[in-house]
Amino acid sequence: MRKWSSNHKSLLNSLPQELVNTKTSIQLEKKDSIQILVFKWFPQPDVFSISSKIPPFKDVVTKREVASTVASIYDPIGLISSIVISYKIFLQRLWLSGIGWDNLPSSLLQKWHVLVSQLSLIDDIKINRRVIINNPTAIEVHGFCDASQHAFGACLYLRSVNSEGEISVQLLCSKSRVAPVKTVSIPLLELCGTLLLSKLLPILNLSIERVHLWTDSKICLWKTFVANRVSQIQDLTDVNDWKHVASSDNPADLISRGSNPESLDRD
């Protein structure tokens, strides 16, 4: 293993110099970063940002170029799912339009130019690397899910408290899915979001005091579609962990509807 990096130099003292990232051998300032795949890590504030591949502005754009740009937005744990889903929704719209692999019509091209103009703002979004407070005495998981006619999604937050009463709430991960091409009712999509949230929980390997799972849906349609997914949700989660949250207070609402980088708090 080579190119070790850390924001605590004491951890690097025992390593031979040739195994240490050359940038960590000097004093890093707040503006300095280390590239990790598509992530930029700023050791001093200890935050991540995600690098985006910005295509050049063109008067003529093909569907294959759109697909390539959308595929290049790498977000493996869903730190910017609410942004990525907007591009996936647009890509699905291209497929439904029935156009070939060649040039986009003017109506779709204008929408694409708006999306591309927002891509550069992704680099300004800063995400805390640490998701748990120092010396926590209690850790809670708060999961949220939501759906719209275009997509559904879920996200997990960790709420940690220490002995001094300090509280930290940080986004851990999220997932989003574009709604099926076949028309599906909002209640059924809400249920898909609930199942997606249930599948996110097993990734945790922490000593959790409480789990709170939040949904803003109160509608249940008992059909085979529903019964199968409810059964899976009950297998994956404790029914007592589920609670209702107002749509206006549900962060997963952004994932199900999509958002642009300019609308998010980038600090």
What is the reported pLDDT for 10?
73
Is residue 221 predicted with pLDDT exceeding 50?
A: no
Which residue has 């945790």 as its token pair? 204
Ordered domains of the chain (ranges, CATH):
9-50 (no CATH), 63-124 (no CATH), 130-258 (3.30.420.10)
What sign has the CA pseudo-torsion 15, 21, 22, 25? negative
6-11: which pairs have CB atoms within 8 A and are 24 or more residues apart? 6/43, 7/43, 7/44, 7/46
Identify the pLDDT of residue 103: 85
Over residues 133-137, the mean pLDDT reads: 92
DSSP per position, 87-129 = HHHHHHHHHHHT--SSBPPHHHHHHHHHHHHHHGGGGG--EES
Instruction: Lowest mean pLDDT of 6-20, 91-105, 171-185, 198-212, name the range.
Output: 6-20
Q: How confident is the model at residue 32 (pLDDT cuts 50, 70, 90)?
A: low
> pTM of the predicted model, to two decimals?
0.77
- 176 Cβ partners below 8 Å, 6+ apart? 78, 81, 82, 84, 85, 88, 151, 152, 153, 255, 256
Percent share of the chain, pLDDT over 70: 89
**Residue with the larger pLDDT of the pair 263 and 222:** 263
Of residues 55 and 18, more confidence is placed in 55
From residue 24, alpha-carbon distances to 4, 9, 18, 171 in Å are 8, 8, 12, 27
61-74 pLDDT, tens digit each: 899 999 998 988 88
pLDDT for the residue 25: 47
Distance CA 51, CA 161 (A): 32
Query: Nearest Cα to 84, choosing from 37, 38, 128?
Result: 38
Q: What type of residue is 237?
A: T
Give the single-character DSSP code of 46.
Answer: T
Tokens of residue 191, six digits: 């249920």
Residue 267: which pLDDT band, with cuts at 50, 70 and 90? low
Q: Taking 80 as the threshold, does the pLDDT of residue 232 lie above it?
A: yes
Amino acid at position 229, single letter:
R
Which helix (DSSP H) or strand (DSSP E) does residue 137 occupy? Answer: strand 136-147
Cβ(146)–Cβ(255) under 8 Å?
yes
Residue 159 above 70 pLDDT? Answer: yes
Least confident piece of the model among 12-16, 52-56, 84-88, 108-112? 12-16
pLDDT tens for each residue of 163-186: 999 999 999 999 999 999 887 888
